[in-house]
């Protein structure tokens, strides 16, 4: 049907109006959607090509047996690691596919043995080691194989049952969670390590039980603080939404020119008067806030004052089917994270997109798909798969949820710790030969004793190793 375009007829005939929208507006809308979708696919392709060129390593960090460092030391570590941030220009982003540096800080418990790990690009290994040794001089850092290969390849699995989820914040990420200074008594100055509860839970897992906690940390810039300022303006009732458009720009230009001219004529009197009126306005705004609103503003400002990171937090619990216990491996661990729930924010498992929960319809296939997704994201240490792109934690918050526990606060012996530094004496010391002779004599006596008991020295050594309780595997998490 040939319809001549008559603008007056559009409002009279709904069919003509629909045809007009489809013909003249449908194509532009389609082009816009095609452009948006195309640029996303292009960027993903370029970033995937760039990611294939990166080499990563997994480092096991053994803290000193006597650790008296507070989480402040780990906060200093994160501040130092933030130096990995680099600006990415248009060419680097859209053609080279360059990405911001990311790290994965992990706490794993395998058969009840606990290990702190850091997954990083190989080029940043020196940065990680320098940051750790600067705060923990006697720590030991070892490169190990990737334990994530222990995860089942497909689901449902014949041997294991698995629960997994990402953790998200309970409020906007401009609000802080409960941080470690809260756990220090104001009068006695006694520090109750929030990591102690988690260590106790992880240390009592059974054989063939695993709990893995992952914080994928992406170094970012300070643009996130703009959202903090917007939230403060919202609380105090200020409208910081500036008008946009051609005519408003002209109006702003002339109003600014007039204001500048008046300032030059009136001199310091107007400047002082303006500053005074501004202070009076701020005092008036703050006086109208309720005590809670005032605390909210203070909390937001305190958070934005420190280095921020984009964080994707994941947890996986899997075990043999006959010992699988969500009450022990899930509820207890999730409960340990509730202690970080403050007045304005906290952490909780994401049930909408990532939690491996039971479904009403197609429950087996949907559960298997979520199990596959969470394990794939964990293995990849992805900072984009899952529920959104993550949330902001500053260095103090990050050090609260991931720090090496103070040994006095943790009673378990399954936490992998660095041995004392072994320093060999100079070869020319006069007592070295006497010490060697003494050791040889003790060894011979042990061998002689074992011969009487019909036990070989090898069997004796094996028995000694078996009797050592609370000692983790020598190369945890790879046994």
DSSP string, 371-421: HHHHHHHHHHT-SSSSSTT-EEEEHHHHHHHS-PPPGGG---S-B-EEPPP
> Looking at 124-133, 153-162, 208-217, 300-309, which range is the least confident one?
153-162
pTM: 0.74
What does DSSP say about strands 56-64 and 113-121: parallel, antiparallel, or unpaired? antiparallel
Pairing of strands 160-169, 308-320: antiparallel
Nearest Cα neighbor of 346 from 473, 167, 477 is 167
> What value does the mean pLDDT take over residues 125-149?
94
Where residue 423 falls among pLDDT bands split at 50, 70, 90?
very low
- Where is pLDDT greater, at 134 or 86? 134
Position with higher pLDDT, 424 vs 340: 340
> Alpha helices, DSSP H only, in 268-383?
268-287, 291-304, 326, 332-337, 363-380
- 358-366 mean pLDDT: 85
Biggest alpha carbon distance in the chain? Answer: 114
Q: 3-state DSSP call for residue 203?
A: helix
Query: What is the pLDDT, as a whole number, of residue 350?
Result: 94
Question: What mean pLDDT is predicted for residues 378-382?
Answer: 95
Choose among 342, 405, 403, 390: nearest CA to 179.
342
The answer on pLDDT for 147 being more than 50 is yes
- What pLDDT was estimated at residue 125? 96
Backbone angles phi, psi at 146, to 5 degrees: -80, 110
- 218-261: per-residue pLDDT in tens? 999 899 999 999 999 999 886 554 444 545 555 555 555 555 55
Helix (H, G, I), strand (E, B) or coil at 111: coil
In the predicted structure, residue 48 carries a pLDDT above the cut 90: no
Which residues lie closer than 8 Å to 425 by C-beta, 6 or more apart? 432
Q: What mean pLDDT do residues 303-331 have? A: 95
Mean pLDDT in residue range 89-98: 84
H or E stretch at 322: none
User: Residues of the chain with pLDDT > 70: what percent?
Assistant: 67
Q: Choose the weakest-confidence range: 283-297, 367-381, 422-436.
A: 422-436
| CA dist., res. 479 & res. 475, Å (int) | 6
Residue 87 has a pLDDT of 80
Residue 370 vs residue 99, higher pLDDT: 370
Whether 107 contacts 49, CB under 8 Å: no
Higher pLDDT, 336 or 19: 336
Q: 382 or 93, which is more confident? A: 382
Cβ-contact 396, 306 below 8 angstroms: yes
**What pLDDT score was predicted for residue 192?**
87
Report the 3 state secondary structure along 15-46.
Answer: HHHHHHHHHHHHHHHHHHHHHHHHHHHHHHHH
Mean pLDDT of 262-283: 51
Pick the range with the lowest mean pLDDT from 124-128, 284-288, 348-352, 361-365.
Answer: 284-288
Give per-residue pLDDT as tens, 442-478: 545 655 554 445 555 566 555 445 444 445 555 455 4
Q: Name, of 65-74, 234-243, 265-274, 443-452, the range with top average pLDDT.
A: 65-74
Coil vs helix vs strand at 461: helix
What does the angle CA 363 – CA 374 – CA 118 come to, to the nearest 5 degrees?
160
Lowest mean pLDDT among 110-124, 209-223, 310-324, 404-418: 404-418
pLDDT at 291 over 60: yes
C-alpha separations of 152 from 138, 285, 476 in Å: 36, 57, 19
Q: Residue 477 has what pLDDT?
A: 56
pLDDT at 421 (0 to 100)? 47
The answer for residues whose C-beta is within 8 angstroms of residue 91's C-beta and 6 or more apart is none
Cβ pair 115, 215 in contact under 8 A: no
pLDDT score for 236:
86
Beta-carbon count within 10 A of 196 CB: 18
Minimum mean pLDDT among 13-17, 92-96, 181-185: which range?
13-17
From the centroid of its chain, how far is CA 97? 23
């Amino acid at each position: 049907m040939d319809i001549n375009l008559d603008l007056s007829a559009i409002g009279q005939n709904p069919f003509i109006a629909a045809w007009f929208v489809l013909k003249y507006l449908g194509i532009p809308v389609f082009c816009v959607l095609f452009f948006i979708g195309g640029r996303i696919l292009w960027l993903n392709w370029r970033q995937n090509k760039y990611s294939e060129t990166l080499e990563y390593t997994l480092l096991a960090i053994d803290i000193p047996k006597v650790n008296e460092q507070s989480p402040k030391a780990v906060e200093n570590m994160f501040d130092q690691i933030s130096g990995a941030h680099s600006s990415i220009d248009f060419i680097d982003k859209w053609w080279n596919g360059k990405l911001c540096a990311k790290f994965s800080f992990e706490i794993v418990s395998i058969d009840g043995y606990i290990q702190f790990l850091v997954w990083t690009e190989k080029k940043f290994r020196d940065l990680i080691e320098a940051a750790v040794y600067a705060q923990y001089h006697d720590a030991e850092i070892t490169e190990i194989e990737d334990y994530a290969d222990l995860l089942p390849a497909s689901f449902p699995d014949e041997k294991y049952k698995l629960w997994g989820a990402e953790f998200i914040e309970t409020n906007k990420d401009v609000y802080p969670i409960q941080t470690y200074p809260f756990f220090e008594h104001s009068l006695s100055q006694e520090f109750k390590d929030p990591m102690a509860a988690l260590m106790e839970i992880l240390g009592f897992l059974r054989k063939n039980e695993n709990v893995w906690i992952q914080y994928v940390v992406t170094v970012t810039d300070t643009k996130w603080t703009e959202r903090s300022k917007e939230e403060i303006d919202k609380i105090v009732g200020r409208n910081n939404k500036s008008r946009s458009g051609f005519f408003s720009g002209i109006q702003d230009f002339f109003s600014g020119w007039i204001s500048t001219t008046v300032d030059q004529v009136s001199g310091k009197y107007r400047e002082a008067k303006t500053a005074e009126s501004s202070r009076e306005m701020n005092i008036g705004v703050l006086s109208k806030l309720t005590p809670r609103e005032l605390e909210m503003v203070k909390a937001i400002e305190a958070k934005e004052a420190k280095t921020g990171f984009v964080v994707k937090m994941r947890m996986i619990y899997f075990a043999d089917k006959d010992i699988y216990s969500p009450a022990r491996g899930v509820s207890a661990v999730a409960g340990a994270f509730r202690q970080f729930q403050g007045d304005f924010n906290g952490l909780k498992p994401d049930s909408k997109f990532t939690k491996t929960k039971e479904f009403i319809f197609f429950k087996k296939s949907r559960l298997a798909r979520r199990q596959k997704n969470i394990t794939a994201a964990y293995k990849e240490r992805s900072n984009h798969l899952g529920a959104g792109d993550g949330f902001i934690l500053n260095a103090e918050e990050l050090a609260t949820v991931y720090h090496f526990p103070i040994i006095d606060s943790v009673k378990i012996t399954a936490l992998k710790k660095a041995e004392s530094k072994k320093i060999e004496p100079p070869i020319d010391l006069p007592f070295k030969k006497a010490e060697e002779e003494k050791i040889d004599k003790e060894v011979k006596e042990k061998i002689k004793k074992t011969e009487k008991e019909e036990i070989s020295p090898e069997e004796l050594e094996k028995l000694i190793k078996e009797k050592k309780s609370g000692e983790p595997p020598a190369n945890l998490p790879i046994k």
